[in-house]
Amino acid sequence: MVNALIQLIRVQAVGPESDGHGEFKKAEVLMQYLAETSFDRIERFDAEDPRVPSKKRPNIVAYVDGKSDTNRIWVVTHLDVVPAGEDTLWKVTKPFVPKVKNGCIFGRGSEDNGQSVVAALYAAKALKTLGLKPNRTFALAFVSDEEQGSTKGILHLLAKGVFRKDDWVVVPDHGTPLGDFIEIAEKSILWLKITTFGIQAHGSLPNKGLNAHRVGMQVALALDEMLHQKYNAVDEYFSPPNSTFEPTRKDKNMDAVNIIPGEDTVYFDCRILPRYDVGQVLADIKQVVTEFEKKTGTKILLEVLQRQVSPALADGKAEIVTLLKKALKVARGIDATIGGVGGGTCAAFFRQVGIPAVVWCTIDEVPHSPDEYARIANIVADAKVFALLSVI
């Protein structure tokens, strides 16, 4: 397991939106491990993408046939990772130079989502090695593009009819250090790009220009205040319990200090409680933007980078929830609780089309951070639970 994760971390599977080359080389490494596991079937559903060198975004599906092909158990993991970030913030190792230390494997993508890729793979390997025919088919999907909206990944597989209404899906892409929480609900997601256009001028002659940076900051602060005041409900079912509206990325505008920017861009990551209408939230944002255009004379372009409306809350008594709770109790003595989260996962896409899906794994919650790591003990413990799901 350790060696497999090390090999996967070494491949920089960053999407083209972040100037990466995609997941193709990582998929080739994974295919070597899959070929050693004697799966009953392995299928590829690669999506075309001219932005990457291979022109393909790989999606791999592998099956261990069960005594019944009804209520197939799926474990859906993703191959892509976020960019490394600032190299100087990594202290234990470089982002794509995996290192084993203190029972952990450090490297970008180790926890998100390499740990679960390996745990799912070795759960299937255990079934095959022991010669066990599971009660229900055990299926694995290794998908692309999860970090940037899943168009080339899980949505591509859904469009190809890979999944059925009677399938049960586990998405191991959010969890707790104890593995005692099962996510059955998510907030809606709204990613925004707000570009303000002014007039560039010399820094000593502001009267000759229109400072897009100043207006851009004012717009961002106004949106931040309006959104938090108007959409301030608290729902303890979720963690965190409120809607969040975070200004995140800021594009570079000028190379010199003495230039008044003629263009300024800021991004927002909004995670919205299901009780709110995402369309209304967006309408309120547009109103603020329009008011600033009139007041300042600037042109402001509002772009929606991602809009994902949360489906209805999943049934806490659904069979997949009950089954996962049982597997956790048998394998690890855990009495799991259920609830909702702010992060978006592939589970939302399944729920939107009526396929029962839960989100669970055991992680220290360090994805996307410097010195990201996966605990080796968690990989082993999660693999046991995945394997049990198909045989209990």
What pLDDT is recorded for position 84? 95
pTM value?
A: 0.81
Q: How far is CA 336 from the centre of its chain?
A: 22
Say yes or no: 172 and 46 in one domain.
Answer: yes
For the question of residue 146 being annotated catalytic, the response is: yes
Examine the domain organization and report whether 174 and 42 are in the same domain. Answer: yes
Buried b (16+ CB within 10 A) or exposed e, 137-175: bbbbbbbbbbbbbbebbbbbbbeeebbeeebbbbbbbbb
Give me the pLDDT at residue 310, please.
83
Q: How many domains does the chain have?
A: 2
Say how far apart CA 73 and CA 241 lie, in whole Å.
Answer: 30
Given 46, 146, 147, 186, the catalytic residue: 146
Mean predicted confidence (pLDDT) in 239-243: 91
Say yes or no: 232 and 341 in one domain. no
Instruction: Let me know whether 45 and 138 are in one domain.
Output: yes
Would you mind telling me the total number of residues written for the chain in this entry?
392
CA–CA separation, 137 vs 135, rounded Å? 7
User: What is the average pLDDT value for the chain, to the nearest integer?
Assistant: 95
Radius of gyration, CA atoms only, the chain:
23
Residues 369-387 have a mean pLDDT of 98
Domain boundary among 308, 339, 371: 308
How confident is the model at residue 345, as a pLDDT? 80
Q: Which of 308, 339, 373 is the last residue of a domain?
A: 308
DSSP state of 147: G
Catalytic residue (one of 80, 147, 264, 372):
80
Same domain, 28 and 144: yes
Q: How far is CA 110 from CA 148, 279, 287, in A?
A: 18, 36, 42
| Tens-place pLDDT, residues 308-318 | 888 766 567 78
Helix spans in 250-309 (H): 278-296
Can you tell me which residue has the tokens 């593995």?
A: 179
Tell whether 171 and 56 lie within a shared domain. yes
Same-domain check for residues 294 and 373: no
Check which CATH number belongs to the domain holding 300 and give it.
3.30.70.360
Domain co-membership, 270 together with 141: no
Among 207, 227, 169, which residue's Cα sits nearest to residue 359? 169
Do 84 and 118 reside in the same domain of the chain? yes
Domain ranges, residue 137? 2-186+310-389
CATH of the domain at 332: 3.40.630.10
Select from 308, 342, 372 the last residue of a domain: 308
Q: Given CA atoms 146, 147, 150, 151 in this order, what sign does their dihedral have?
A: negative
SS3 content of the chain, % helix, strand, coil (to 5): 35, 30, 40
Same domain, 75 and 174: yes
> Among residues of the chain, what percentage have pLDDT more than 70?
99
Residues 228 and 292 in one domain: yes
Same domain, 132 and 158: yes
